[in-house]
Amino acid sequence: MSRYWSPVVGALSPYVPGEQPKLLDLVKLNTNENPYGPSPKAIEAIRAATDDTLRLYPDPGSDRLREAIAAQAGHGITAAHVFVGNGSDEVLAHVFVALLKHEGRKLLFPDISYSFYPVYCGLFGIEHDTVPLTDDFRVEPQDYLPAGGQAAGGIIFPNPNAPTGRAMPLADVERIVAGNPQCVVVIDEAYVDFGAESAVSLVARHDNLLVVQTLSKSRSLAGLRVGHAIGHPALIEGLERVKDSFNSYPIDRLASAGAIAALEDQAYFEQTCRAIVATRDRLTADLQALGFEVLPSAANFVFARHPAHDGAALAAALRERAIIVRHFRRARIDQFLRITVGTDDECARLITGLKAIFSS
Ligand SMILES: *Cc1c(COP(=O)(O)O)cnc(C)c1O
């Protein structure tokens, strides 16, 4: 506390990111990073861009990067449909200000979802309501259709959802988008490449749909900080106005070079996603064999609880064995562990650790 703080600062409840321990040789399965490195071509491109041109500002419009994203997206998407930012967290921050803040109309998102959403509402003074997931932890499309009353000020949810990993079929996503023409529906697709259907194919048909994606997870570039949004050019223009009122150069020269090269290396991308999905299926079966209930995951993590072992206690016991998973002290999910899909070896070490805990 300081008397010099602006009044809003004391009232914030900031997002708490998963731990980034300084120790090495941990089995780090707590922040959904990709266990495989980025494309070697991305590393090479960053090296090649590391030269005297760093004295110059980058392109404020990130034109080449937006073109690479559009080319990769297909479905008639052009650079005018693409907005980029310093990680999708920054993209989301601009989305909340530019598109989701409407006096007297509340933003809707699930009660169990990405915990940054309520943080942005607090920072930007956005009224919101949370909509409970079903008992089996699904986002129920019907719950997001206006029932005659006041239209929502906006709707946002991840697909697949975090931290549950459950995906919504594309037809249900479209029902929500089509049923809410008076507000923007934002689909946060941070994990879509691990097994869900992207809503990018719907952008041409719906001018109130915005799809947010990131290179942090499936492209293994969490350290580079590049995310983007895809939607109707009028939505993108709104985002640009906010961005240019905040920071004109969110994508630095090295990030741009690395991101473009990563997007162009489709073979590496597909190979590493396939490996993670195969490991996820084995990890799920191994956890089930130990008695865990595992929610069906379309992401690079699984959400699991054990009927006989407390979630917080299990996370602490794993930590003593240098294995870090994520546990949320929150109603409805405090018995669950969110476990990132690592390499086969890391997942085997997790299972060995759990067996040791259960037999001690
Ligand atoms: C990881 C994540 C993000 C943010 O990713 P960036 O690294 O900021 O691009 C956004 N939404 C969800 C649901 C996430 O899990």
Taking the C-alpha atoms of residue 80 and residue 232, their distance in angstroms, rounded to an integer, is 8
d(CA 91, ligand 1 centre) in Å:
10
Q: How far is the CA of 147 from the centre of ligand 1 (A)?
A: 31
Q: Does residue 61 sit in the same domain as residue 187? A: yes
- Quickly tell me which residue has 């007297």 as its tokens: 104
Atom index in ligand 1 nearest the CA of residue 214 equals 9
* Ligand 1 atom with minimal separation from the 216 CA: 7
Number of domains the chain is built from: 2
Same domain as 320, residue 207: no
Residues 63 and 172 both lie in one domain: yes
User: Residue 55 Cα, ligand 1 centroid: separation in angstroms?
Assistant: 30
Is residue 129 one of the residues assigned to a domain? yes
Residue 144 shares a structural domain with residue 159: yes
Final residue belonging to a domain, choices 242, 264, 286? 264
Q: What are phi and psi of 128, to 5 degrees?
A: -145, 160
Do residues 91 and 186 share a domain? yes
248 with 104, same domain: the answer is yes
Residues with a CB atom less than 6 Å from ligand 1: 87-89, 114, 158, 162, 188, 190, 214, 216, 222, 227
Nearest CA to ligand 1 atom 11: 190
Q: Are residues 345 and 203 in the same domain?
A: no
In CATH, what number is assigned to the domain containing residue 323?
3.90.1150.10
Kindly provide the b/e burial profile for residues 204-238, where b requires at least 16 CB atoms within 10 angstroms of the residue's own CB: eebebbbbbbbbbbbbbbbebbbbbbbbbeebbeb
Q: Which atom of ligand 1 is nearest to the CA of 161?
A: 13
pLDDT in tens, 209-250: 999 999 999 999 999 999 999 999 999 999 999 999 999 999
pTM of structure: 0.96
Does 279 lie in the same domain as 153?
Answer: no
Query: Is residue 121 domain-resident?
Result: yes
Last residue of a domain, one of 218, 240, 264: 264
Let me know whether 201 and 243 are in one domain. yes
- Residues 259 and 271 both lie in one domain: no
Whether 114 is covered by a domain: the verdict is yes
Task: Check whether residue 216 and residue 308 sit in a common domain.
Answer: no
Query: Cα of 349 to ligand 1 centre, how many Å?
Result: 26
161 HSE (CA, 13 A, CB side): 26
Residue 88 Cα to ligand 1 midpoint, Å, equals 6
User: Ligand 1, closest atom to CA 113?
Assistant: 13
Of 248, 264, 280, at which residue does a domain stop? 264
Q: For residue 221, report the distance from its CA to the centre of ligand 1, in Å.
A: 11
Bridge partners, 309 (sequence order):
306
Range of the domain at 236: 48-264
Asked if 46 and 53 count as a contact pair (C-beta separation under 8 A), the reply is no
Atom 2 in ligand 1: residue holding the nearest Cα: 190
Name the nearest CA neighbour of 107 among 93, 117, 92. 117
- In this structure, the answer to whether residues 168 and 283 fall within a common structural domain is no
- Measured in Å, residue 190 CA sits from the centre of ligand 1 at 5
Asked, for residue 253, whether it belongs to a domain, the answer is: yes
Q: pLDDT in tens for each of the 360 residues of the chain?
A: 899 999 889 989 898 887 787 767 899 999 999 999 999 999 999 999 999 999 999 999 999 999 999 999 999 999 999 999 999 999 999 999 999 999 999 999 999 999 999 999 999 999 999 999 999 999 999 999 998 778 999 999 999 999 999 999 999 999 999 999 999 999 999 999 999 999 999 999 999 999 999 999 999 999 999 999 999 999 999 999 999 999 999 999 999 999 999 999 999 999 999 999 999 999 999 999 999 999 999 999 999 999 999 999 999 999 999 999 999 999 999 999 999 999 999 999 999 999 999 998
Alpha carbon 118 to its chain centroid, in Å, reads 15
Question: Which atom of ligand 1 is found nearest the CA of 31?
Answer: 1
Query: Which ligand 1 atom minimizes the distance to the CA of 88?
Result: 9
